Structure 1
Amino acid sequence: MSAEMFTINNLWIMIAAALVFVMHLGFACVETGLTRAKNTVNILFKNTMIPCIGLMTYAICGWKIMYPGDAWILPNVFSFGFGILGDNVPGVGELTAKYNAGYTIWTDFLFQGMFAATAATIVSGAVAGRVKLAPFLIFSALFVAISYPITGSWQWGGGWLSQLGFYDFAGSTLVHAVGGAGALVGAMMLGPRLGKYAKDGTMNPIPGHSIPLAAIGVFLLWFGWFGFNGGSVLSADAAGVSLVLVTTAMAAAGGGMAAGIISWFFVGKPDVTMALNGILAGLVGITAGPDLMTWWESAFVIGPISGALVFFSVLFFDKLKIDDPVGAISVHLVCGIFGTLACGIFGVNGLYGTSETAGGMQLIYQLVGAGSVIGFTLLTATILFGALKSICGIRVSEYEEIEGLDLGEHDMSAYPDFQRTYIKSYHAREI
């Protein structure tokens, strides 16, 4: 590899890492916009802490768990170590066959570290409005430091799923379904927000306080996804990157169109929040195989199916009385599973190849991979949330939930003039 190509590869992956970093601002805007004004500071604080926690814990031990090289403790299943450098990877400039020769370890760590924090951010939206701050941050630290990298090592670290033939290009399962599984456990253990479900079982909508902010967040996420998927090519290869960016964009467009039209048909009026979540659903759905699909499969199959899934999934979880304020479980878990299976149904050999063409054994590999990763994550999330619930509790008091977590957890307001008037006038009737 020439020095020029080495520099170009590094530059593109670092730019992609910056784009993934912008996604944290997108998540913050989406979660804030789709929830109540009285919880804005709390949500922003969580989304400020998560990338900080994610990068630090990933550097401390997450990286060595996820990319163990030859240092497995339990072969192809579990590894543990500390730090970024170590015996299992060479230092800067040491370009050998033992490590990817296309970029430095620092570039790789930065890119992968941004991915790690994303998994905990997904959980944040599903538990918004009623989770205690300190237990959530403890959960996030352990989730990113241990659970996420263990399952990631099974595929991206060369573990047993990689050897089996499982395929997940940029993380429909390894990032998004992992975050969605954690979100499902958190939402179930917390229970719904006060007033979300009436005694007769009917659902009471709790609208978000800023749809413009939610829309800004979704478009920031779409923008950042070009780095999420495009950077996962792990080089500046023109053919590979351009294909991945086109299929990513087309799936997002198809998902938004499908969710918007379906909501219009079934509800009677077009729902912009469903259209926005449809865009995210299409992006999650394509992330496992953006290099495997044609543009038309992305636009007219992967995206629209994901958009339809997110609409009906939101209704399904409401029927089960699992309260998810932002639709994170539907977007990331449900569509992450579909996107992973889509590689075995529609995909052809991609940038990294697949052990089989679409169908047959490849679909079985995808089922095994998604099932094992999600099953392990559900178990670890249950243990973490369960332990925290037993030790210190994970849900705020009823009074604090009614008053808002901004005042209860932070003693400040995002909109001080408005909230003082609101609380004084409506506190007695607030649910």
Structure 2
Amino acid sequence: MELGLNAIWVMLGAILVILMQGGFIMLEAGSTRMKNAGHVAGKTIFTFGIASLVFWAVGYGLIFGGDGNSIIGWGDFFFDTRAVSEGDTLPPTILFLFQLAFAGVSLSIAWGGFAERGKLSVYLIFAVLFSALVYPVIAHWIWGGGWLADHGKQDFAGSTVVHLTGAMAALAGTILLKPRIGKYNKDGSANDIQGHNQVYTTLGVIILWVGWFGFNAASTLSVGDGFFGFVAVNTQLAAAAGAIVALLVAWAARGKADVPTMLNGALAGLVAITASCAFVETWAAVLIGAIAGVLVYGSMVFFEKRKIDDPIYALSVHGTAGVWGTISTGFFASDSLVEEVGVGKAGLFYGGGFEQLGVQVLGVVVCGVFAFVVSYIILAIMKAVMGLRVSEEQEIIGLDLSEHGAYGYPEQMKKASADSIQA
């Protein structure tokens, strides 16, 4: 009975996390220009398909393979979907699918740094290499019994494993691709290149928000005593606090209640609570989300001033908030919750001293550096061999037409072209 209930719950979680790909489509498409909308949507499906096959072939084995060591897993390649072991508390196929969904989310985050200027062929190759060489290593260190797990690293659902890893890959891509045409003026000032549909962006965020209950609450991997409900409440309130605080900060700083900043605040709250949702009391979850809302706005301003063109703010939402969320358990992890979850030690504010905080900082630094350096090396080689960026002409006409031969909005774009010619 318990096995069946656990299986249904985690399978539902896997479905919700896979549904988050729809949220990324709406968020990224809405945050970019109309001439690239079809490309954004299509490459998400394309690369999620690639990530799924690579995860089946090697990714799962490199994370959880039983013949590995503290650095990398080994075994279970081309995962045997018929394999069942005595004593399993969850069908292996469902755990496999759940973990696959997480790997796909990390890759989708990485694409934020490539938006509106990366070649489709780059998505293909980097999707394979990221899914085989970057994500599995960090996931093994923390979730697969690796060296950070041995140190008691707390990352319940992936502020580091999923979000920081994807964000560091996005940073590498953003730096190597350089800013979009027209983003910066000669004097260094930035132009606001607005997305074409704020309603799509908002819908994308709410889809992601709902999907996050699969992300966080289903990471309990069991129905048990209903502990997943506690995790879900922490997730909800952190997201709410992030959205409200980010809007208020932007309103105070700019004199306008900026909707995109509010949306990024909600996502930042979700990212931040992802590591700590099972380790902190609810009041702390609200505070963690609220601080994430402040940090995401400051981070957006910081990166833009440094000419790092991040169209969907992946670095701020998933990187900065991912760092904060991971470190937050070092402050707020409750001794009683740590005992219940069975990972690490209590945080600084609960009498645990600096030990857990040190482990969390170590994990952020090592994982962030690894993800960035390996991604940068891969992309730098690709840039030298095949180039990363479409031509100036292709970027101007849009990736829908230049990469796929058809616009995502054919009637609107053809009308705009006709009006331009007549003018």
Q: Which consecutive residues of structure 1, in runs of 5 or more, have no partner in the other structure?
A: none
Partner of 1:84: 79
Displacement after TM superposition at 1:161 (Å) = 0.4
Q: Which consecutive residues of structure 2, in runs of 5 or more, have no partner in the other structure?
A: 349-353
Q: Residues of 2 paired with 1:29 and 1:220: CA distance?
A: 9
DSSP 3-state at the match of 1:293 = coil
Q: Residues of 1 paired with 2:394 and 2:421: CA distance?
A: 11
Q: Residues of 1 paired with 2:192 and 2:243: CA distance?
A: 22
Q: Residues of 2 paired with 1:85 and 1:77: CA distance?
A: 23
Partner of 1:8: 5
Matching of residues 192-207 of structure 1 within 5 Å: 192-207=179-194
Is the aligned partner of 1:29 residue 2:18? no
Partner of 2:328: 342
Is the aligned partner of 1:390 residue 2:384? yes
- Conserved 8 A contact 2:47-2:123: no
Partner of 2:301: 315
Displacement after TM superposition at 1:212 (Å) = 0.4
Partner of 1:123: 110
Displacement after TM superposition at 1:428 (Å) = 12
Partner of 1:355: 344
Is the aligned partner of 1:259 residue 2:246? yes
Q: Residues of 1 paired with 2:304 and 2:419: CA distance?
A: 30
- Conserved 8 A contact 1:286-1:339: yes
Displacement after TM superposition at 1:184 (Å) = 0.5
Displacement after TM superposition at 1:352 (Å) = 2.4
Q: Residues of 1 paired with 2:182 and 2:53: CA distance?
A: 38
Displacement after TM superposition at 1:91 (Å) = 2.2
**What code does the residue aligned with 1:340 have?**
T
Is the aligned partner of 1:243 residue 2:238? no
Cα deviation 1:209-255 (Å, max 9, x = unaligned)? 00000000000000000000011101112431011000000000000
- Conserved 8 A contact 2:279-2:341: no
Is the aligned partner of 1:109 residue 2:96? yes
**What code does the residue aligned with 1:344 have?**
G
- Conserved 8 A contact 1:136-1:394: no
- Conserved 8 A contact 2:64-2:74: no
Displacement after TM superposition at 1:141 (Å) = 1.6
Displacement after TM superposition at 1:80 (Å) = 3.7
Q: Residues of 2 paired with 1:169 and 1:355: CA distance?
A: 11
Displacement after TM superposition at 1:325 (Å) = 0.5
Could you tell me which of 63, 69, 94 is aligned with 1:66?
Answer: 63
Partner of 2:398: 404
Deviates more, 1:385-394 or 1:416-425: 416-425
**Relative to total residues, which structure has the larger helix share, 1 or 2?**
2
- Conserved 8 A contact 1:42-1:410: yes
Is the aligned partner of 1:378 residue 2:368? no
Displacement after TM superposition at 1:50 (Å) = 2.2
Q: Residues of 2 paired with 1:427 and 1:281: CA distance?
A: 43
**What code does the residue aligned with 2:5 have?**
I
Deviates more, 1:374-383 or 1:26-35: 374-383
- Conserved 8 A contact 1:248-1:286: yes
Is the aligned partner of 1:17 residue 2:14? yes
Deviates more, 1:356-365 or 1:169-178: 356-365
Is the aligned partner of 1:50 residue 2:47? yes
Percent identity, please: 39
DSSP 3-state at the match of 1:394 = coil
Partner of 2:351: none
Q: Residues of 2 paired with 1:404 and 1:381: CA distance?
A: 26
Displacement after TM superposition at 1:55 (Å) = 1.1
Partner of 1:175: 162
Could you tell me which of 28, 33, 37 is aligned with 1:40?
Answer: 37
Q: Residues of 1 paired with 2:364 and 2:244: CA distance?
A: 27
- Conserved 8 A contact 1:132-1:396: yes
DSSP 3-state at the match of 1:287 = helix
Paired residues, number = 414
Q: Residues of 2 paired with 1:184 and 1:284: CA distance?
A: 17
Partner of 1:95: 86
- Conserved 8 A contact 1:35-1:209: yes
Deviates more, 1:13-22 or 1:412-421: 412-421
Displacement after TM superposition at 1:289 (Å) = 1.0
Displacement after TM superposition at 1:427 (Å) = 7.9
Q: Residues of 2 paired with 1:427 and 1:106: CA distance?
A: 56
Cα deviation 1:61-108 (Å, max 9, x = unaligned)? 000000022x01xx300234422139xxx922x233xxxx31011010
DSSP 3-state at the match of 1:205 = coil
Cα deviation 1:372-399 (Å, max 9, x = unaligned)? 1111111110111111101110000001
DSSP 3-state at the match of 1:246 = helix
Q: Residues of 1 paired with 2:186 and 2:98: CA distance?
A: 47
**What code does the residue aligned with 2:392 have?**
E
DSSP 3-state at the match of 1:165 = coil
Matching of residues 411-430 of structure 1 within 5 Å: 411-426=405-420
- Conserved 8 A contact 1:170-1:287: yes
Q: Runs (4+) of structure 1 moved beyond 3 Å? A: 424-429
**What code does the residue aligned with 1:84 have?**
F
**What code does the residue aligned with 1:358 have?**
G
Displacement after TM superposition at 1:420 (Å) = 1.2
